Amino acid sequence: MNFEVWPEAVELGRLFAAQGYELALVGGPVRDMLLHRTSHDLDFCTSARPEQFEPILRRWGRDGFWDMGRKFGTLGAMRRRDDGTEVQVEVTTYRSDVYDPDSRKPEVNYGDSLEGDLSRRDFTVNAMALRVPELEFVDPFGGANDLAKGVLRTPVDPRQSFDDDPLRMMRAVRFVAQLGFRIEPATAEAISDMVERIGIVSAERVRDELTKLLLSDRPRAGVEALVESGLADIVFPEIPALQLEIDEHHRHKDVFEHTMIVLDRAVALETGPDGPVPAPDLTLRLAAIMHDIGKPKTRRFEPGGKVSFHHHDAVGAKLTRKRLRALHFDHHIVDDVSELVNLHLRFHGYVDEPWTDSAVRRYVKDAGHLYERLNRLTRADATTQNRRKAMVFSSAMDEMEQRVRDLKEKEDFEAIRPDVDGNEIMELLGIEPGPMVGRAYRHMLEYRLDHGPVDHDVAVAELMRWYGSLED
């Protein structure tokens, strides 16, 4: 088997061999090497203990060294190449972990062989190694064969593997999304039978796996695998809840299938690195899978056989906030995704009757920094099979976006403020700080949105008119 191996890996292998220690490249870098994918982060395991190989790693890593993983037998280092790219390496002593059944944190025991270390890894495609500097390929569990077939299988009995570390079940569905692989039947069955074990895994670790899944090239495949496995029932129950029973007259779409289509379409609408929504965009992708999660709670069968989902946008926004907080997402993500869900139906009124300039300003003002994402979510959500309706909707969105561009040439949407500020309001009205100042400010903001920028004298006259009307 021919390999194009990182020269840094060979050099490090020679340094370890000179001291009588074994060193092997392991895990993802070996898998990616066989898939002809690039990697700048290299993982190694070694027969040496951390205190033995620390001097070697410090000498090699002239541009950086870290030891946060020392208690797990792991040290890291970094080197910059002449072209400015960085190569980061982490080296771990051979491991033979023992897991507490009530925790996913292993008790670290050092092992004495490479094969033993590989046996404790999550999947066979990650249980391959390349000894350096001799470049001997080590594959005791048939990982290369599984890689060629696109199969995810555990090196040991899957029930033992997932019992030892339940997070591996989440990693399985994540690899479906990242690598396009399928989960081998016995492994899939074990996941389905053991989904409750995911409950001992911290919300942060689950969130990190979900994030990697959604930012992959195939997020839809990952979400579908998450639901099919039963894991979503535990970690993200709002998603499988979208699999509503379709009424006998098919008066509404399969909401889960619709959501998967919206996810695909939203991904396709992301832009290049210089565009307004660079791919991959976690906020947009989360909003796509959550935009309709309010539907199960709001579904009503109306007279005449129609089905309604009134206020599913507002209900969905609340459910979104609750779920993302439970998964410990950053508060900016929580706020932004919840607001996109809340606003995702906002544009639909424009199709029936084009808005005034005032309504366009309000749409842009309310969307704020989410404007570009909201438009993409709205476009992605228009999944009608009726070509005429689809063309009308797309044309209306094109028209609205052009009107926004035209208005922005005349005024600064990013800085829409009343034409009189709070201090001037107090001075003109002769009032002290308090609720009335806030009421006056809000009125003048509404006036600004309705009329656009006006002369200062006109704004002052409107303020005085409004205040006088309160006294009458």
pLDDT in tens, 349-371: 777 777 888 888 888 888 989 99
Q: Mean pLDDT over residues 110-132, rounded?
A: 93
In this structure, the answer to whether residues 221 and 142 fall within a common structural domain is no
| Same domain assignment for residues 120 and 178 | no
- Which of 207, 203, 201, 204 lies closest to 103, judged by CA? 201
pLDDT tier at 238 (50, 70, 90 boundaries)?
very high
Q: Are residues 372 and 273 in the same domain?
A: yes
- Whether residue 409 sits in one domain with residue 320: yes
| Residue 144, pLDDT score | 96
> Percentage of residues in the chain with pLDDT exceeding 70?
93
Beta carbons of 218 and 177 less than 8 angstroms apart? yes
* One domain for residues 225 and 277: no
Separation CA 30–CA 114 (nearest Å): 14
Which secondary structure element, helix H or strand E, spans residue 26, and what is its range? strand 23-26
Please indicate, yes or no, if residue 382 is contained in any of the structural domains: yes
Which residue bears the tokens 């906030």?
321
pLDDT band at 304 (very low <50, low <70, confident <90, very high): confident
Place of tokens 């594959």: 139
The answer to whether 65 touches 168, Cβ cutoff 8 Å, is no
Q: Is the pLDDT of residue 292 over 90?
A: yes
Same domain, 292 and 380: yes
Does residue 262 form part of some domain?
A: no
Give the residue, 93 or 462, on which the prediction is more confident. Answer: 93
**In the prediction, which pLDDT does 325 show?**
97
For the segment 160-173, the average pLDDT, to the nearest whole number, is 95
Residue 103: per-residue pLDDT: 54
Task: Provide the residue range defining the domain that includes 186.
Answer: 151-236
Token pair recorded at residue 21: 């220690």
316 & 403 share domain: yes
Tell me the pTM.
0.82
Judge contact between 192 and 207, C-beta under 8 A: no
Kindly give the residue spans of alpha helices, DSSP state H, lying in 327-455.
Answer: 331-343, 348-352, 357-367, 371-381, 387-410, 422-429, 435-451
Mean pLDDT taken over the chain: 89
Name 44's bridge partners. 25, 91
Least confident of 32-36, 76-80, 264-268, 293-297: 32-36
Kind and range of the H or E element at 90? strand 86-93
Show Cβ contacts of residue 413 under 8 Å, excluding neighbours closer than 6 positions: 361, 364, 365, 404, 407
The residue with greater pLDDT, 38 or 27, is 27
In this structure, is residue 261 part of a structural domain? no
Q: Are residues 24 and 60 in the same domain?
A: yes
Mean pLDDT of 209-229: 97
DSSP string, 136-166: EEE-TT-HHHHHHHTEE--SS-HHHHHHH-T
Give residue 149's identity as a one-letter amino acid code. K
DSSP 424-457: HHHHHHT--SSHHHHHHHHHHHHHHHHH-S--HH
Both 292 and 213 in one domain: the answer is no
Residue 100 has pLDDT above 60, yes or no: no
Return the CATH number at 167.
1.10.110.30
pLDDT in tens, 311-349: 999 999 999 999 999 999 999 999 999 999 999 999 987
Is residue 257 domain-resident?
Answer: no
Q: How many residues does the chain have?
A: 472
pLDDT over threshold 50, residue 234:
yes
Has residue 412 got a pLDDT over 80? no
Say which range, 82-86, 147-151, 189-193, has the weakest mean pLDDT. Answer: 82-86
* Sign of the torsion formed by the C-alpha atoms of 139, 141, 147 and 148: positive
Nearest alpha carbon to residue 122 among 100, 103, 95, 91: 95
- Is residue 256 included in any domain, yes or no? no
Nearest to 3 by CA among 29, 21, 22: 29
Q: Give the highest mean pLDDT range of 82-86, 146-150, 251-255.
A: 146-150
Q: Of 74-78, 83-87, 187-191, 253-257, give the lowest mean pLDDT range.
A: 253-257
Q: Tell me which of 104 and 176 has the higher pLDDT.
A: 176
Average pLDDT over residues 412-427: 74
pLDDT at residue 235, rounded to an integer = 96
Looking at the domain assignment, is residue 96 inside a domain?
Answer: yes
Residue 257: pLDDT over 80? yes
Under the banding of pLDDT at 50, 70 and 90, the label for residue 136 is: very high
Q: For residue 145, count other CB atoms closer than 10 A to its CB.
A: 13
Residue among 59, 58, 435 nearest 67 (CA) = 58
Pairing of strands 182-183, 151-152: parallel
Q: Provide the pLDDT confidence category of residue 248 given band limits of 50, 70 and 90.
A: very low
On whether both 395 and 433 belong to a single domain, the answer is: no
Give 405: exposed, middle or buried? Use CB within 10 Å, 0-12, 13-18, 19+: exposed
Are both 432 and 383 inside the same structural domain? no
Specify the pLDDT at position 107.
Answer: 58
pLDDT band of 445, cuts 50, 70, 90: confident
CB atoms within 10 A of CB 46: 26
How many structural domains is the chain composed of?
A: 4
